Amino acid sequence: MPYPCMNGGDPMDGTIATASLHPEAFLVKDDKVVDSTHQEVSDEELVRRYLNGDVTAFEDLFRRYQRPLFGYIRQMVGNPSDAEDVYQETFLRAIKALPRYRHQDKFRAWLFRIARNMVIDRVRRRRDQLSYEGGDDDTLSLKDSLACDRPGPDQATIHQELGLRIWQEVERLPESQREVFLLRYKSGMSFKEIATLQKSPLNTVLGRMHYAVLKLRSALGPDIPEMPNAMKGD
User: Could you write out the DSSP letters of every residue in 116-173?
Assistant: HHHHHHHHHHHHHHHHHHT----PPPHHHHHHTSPP-HHHHHHHHHTTTHHHHHHHHS
Contact 109, 196 (CB under 8 A): yes
- At 165-218, the pLDDT tens digits run 777 788 788 888 988 988 887 777 888 888 888 888 999 999 999 988 888 888
* Domain ranges within the chain, ordered by starting residue: 23-223
Given a cut of 80, whether residue 108 has pLDDT beyond it is: yes
Q: Is 30 exposed, middle or buried (0-12, 13-18, 19+ CB in 10 A)?
A: middle
- CA–CA gap between residue 31 and residue 167 (Å, rounded): 25
- At 21-49, the pLDDT tens digits run 333 333 344 445 555 444 688 999 999 99
Nearest Cα to Cα of residue 144 among 78, 84, 81: 78
Name the pLDDT band for 94 (thresholds 50, 70, 90).
very high
Question: In the CATH hierarchy, which fold is given to the domain comprising 23-223?
Answer: Rna Polymerase Sigma Factor; Chain: A (1.10.1740)
- CA–CA gap between residue 117 and residue 63 (Å, rounded): 21
* Mean pLDDT of the 99-112 span: 85
> What proportions of the chain, in percent to the nearest 5, are helix, strand and coil?
65, 0, 35
Provide the percentage of residues in the chain whose pLDDT is more than 70.
61
Helix (H) or strand (E) holding 48: helix 43-51
Threshold 0.95, pTM exceeds: no
- At 133-177, the pLDDT tens digits run 444 444 333 334 333 343 444 545 544 455 467 777 887 888 889
Please give the pLDDT value at position 223.
60
Q: Which residues contact 210 (CB under 8 A, 6 or more apart)?
A: 231
- CA–CA gap between residue 104 and residue 110 (Å, rounded): 10
